[in-house]
Amino acid sequence: MINHHSQGLSWFQIFRLGIVQLGIGGMVVITTSTLNRVMVVELLLPAAVPGLLVMAHYLVQMLRPRMGHGVDKGRKATPWIMGGLLILAAGSTLSSFSIIPMFENRLGGLLIATVGFLLIGIGVSAAGTSLLTLLAKNVDEEKRAASAGVLWIMMIAGFAVTAMITGSLLDPFTPARLFIVCSSVTFFLLSLALLAVWGLENSLVRKTAKTSTHKKKHSWRLFGSNFRNLGREGNKIVHIICFRLNVCIQYARFNSRTFRWFSF
């Protein structure tokens, strides 16, 4: 008997998903790095203000389980990924625009920035969760750990490359230049991510023979395999935590003169 199911992702297709993750990371870092530094250094706002905005974009990501349920129910991840990318790009553009009125009207600019950061949280939840769902459903077992590593490395690369490019293009700084640079980088990353995910899910179809017999796995072998996988995943988590702590420490040292949390 012949049936249809999703084909395992090839390495090239995994790399395409990594490009999408790179675009997500790049659009997020524009707001969580570039804009909050501008608020503190140029607008002389206390660092607690951009901190609260970043908190808002994380808070709204409690919607991630609902997004994942929507993907499972609809059986298609691409519409959620593309829709999330569009919302994320809209939030990133709106947040960068909020700096312009913030020089004249602090409250009005902060309200616009709040809406932008909330859109970013919704977009990241929809696109990021759906992307990982697509990967988990279609990647072969032996590629699972390596493919997850590829996506996370690509996301960190998106953080680093976008921050460097945006920072170099903002000299000399003006609010209008900030909006032009950030919106242009956002549009480029959005286009790159949409092209990378376009048609990928529809190509994952193949015919396979359905057999009535199933191989039995020895229970102790399965236990040992799961125990080794748990150890490897634990090491990865420790490495990620150490890396994030190191980044935070270096960032805090570099910007120590700007971190005046409650000094208006």
- Structure tokens, 132: 């990982």
Residues 119 and 68: their CA atoms lie apart, in Å, by: 18
CB 122 within 8 A of CB 85: no
Domain boundaries, the chain: 2-210, 221-264
Residue showing tokens 């009535």: 212
pLDDT, tens only, 121-173: 999 999 988 898 888 888 888 888 888 888 889 888 888 888 888 888 888 88
Residues 248 and 238: their CA atoms lie apart, in Å, by: 15
- Structure tokens, 198: 């376009």
How many of the other CB atoms lie within 10 Å of CB of 158?
A: 25
Domain 2-210: CATH superfamily is MFS general substrate transporter like domains (1.20.1250.20)
Distances from the Cα of 138 to the Cα of 10, 13, 24, 164, 234, angstroms:
10, 10, 21, 34, 24
Of 201 and 260, which is predicted with more confidence? 201
Residue 193 has pLDDT above 90, yes or no: yes
Residue 218 has pLDDT above 90, yes or no: no
Percent of the chain with pLDDT over 70: 74
Amino acid letter, 37: R
For position 113, what pLDDT does the model report? 93
For position 33, what pLDDT does the model report? 80
Residue 50 has pLDDT above 70, yes or no: yes
Task: Please name which of 247, 120, 260, 99 lies closest in space to residue 189, comparing C-alpha atoms.
Answer: 120
CB 31 within 8 A of CB 92: yes
Residue 237 has pLDDT above 50, yes or no: yes
pLDDT, tens only, 23-41: 999 999 888 788 888 888 8
Amino acid letter, 3: N
Strand partners, 209: 2
For position 138, what pLDDT does the model report? 84
CB 151 within 8 A of CB 129: no
